[in-house]
Copies of this chain bind each other. A is one copy, B any other.
Amino acid sequence: MNDTDIYRNQRMGGMIGKGRRTALIIVDFVNGFIDPEVFGGGNTRDAAEATVPVLEAFRARNLPVVFTRIVYADDGSDAGIWCEKVPRLRELTDSSPASHVIDMLKPRAGETVIRKTQASAFFDTNLGSLLRGLNVDAVAVAGATTSGCVRATVVDAISANFRPTVITDCVGDRALGPHEANLFDMRQKYANLVTSGELDALLA
């Protein structure tokens, strides 16, 4: 029995019902997660480019858009254990270009940019409260990396009772094995997966 069959036999991998109002969460599409010399590479640039029209679609419908960036204090005072495991995270200081959202997805006034220090966009941030204030019950997730901040954000989203959708061509990773493996896990257990071309159905 292959892996997919095992999950099907346990009745996993089904679809979550559609929400009433969906926000777009763009996770860590910052310069440092595109650049292969920092934390990028693989298909992260392609994913960022595929997110441009998705962002435009959400804006055109006046649906909420939230960006995230990992940011540590210049003096490193809020760097924790994760920075021990992944030491170059410390480079993502407020003043470093590596921590800034990429130009092609530049946030507009009114679009919140969440500052975070951990993988999940919900962890120790006001993202959950903010989404509730916006009357949102579903999130569509783009960003990098699939196996890191995207996965952690999606797991927290469903845990907090938001309906998560992963836009498969809008999430990217430095290495394709983990990218695919995490898409598998999210499809089986935590989210609906759609391509950006299927977006209209999601938002209708």
Contact = CB atoms under 8 A, between A and B. Distances in A.
Interface residues of A, number: 70
Q: From DSSP, what is the main secondary structure of chain A's interface residues?
A: loop
Number of copies: 4
B3 A177 contact: yes
Given A85-B14, A148-B189, A177-B181, A161 B120 contact: no
A159 B12 contact: no
A12 B85 CA distance: 7
Interface string A119-143: 1100111101110110101000000
Interface of A: 3, 6-7, 10-12, 14, 16-17, 20, 38-39, 41-42, 73, 75, 77-78, 80-82, 84-88, 109-113, 115, 117-120, 123-126, 128-130, 132-133, 135, 137, 147-148, 152, 155-156, 158-163, 174-178, 181-182, 184-185, 189-191
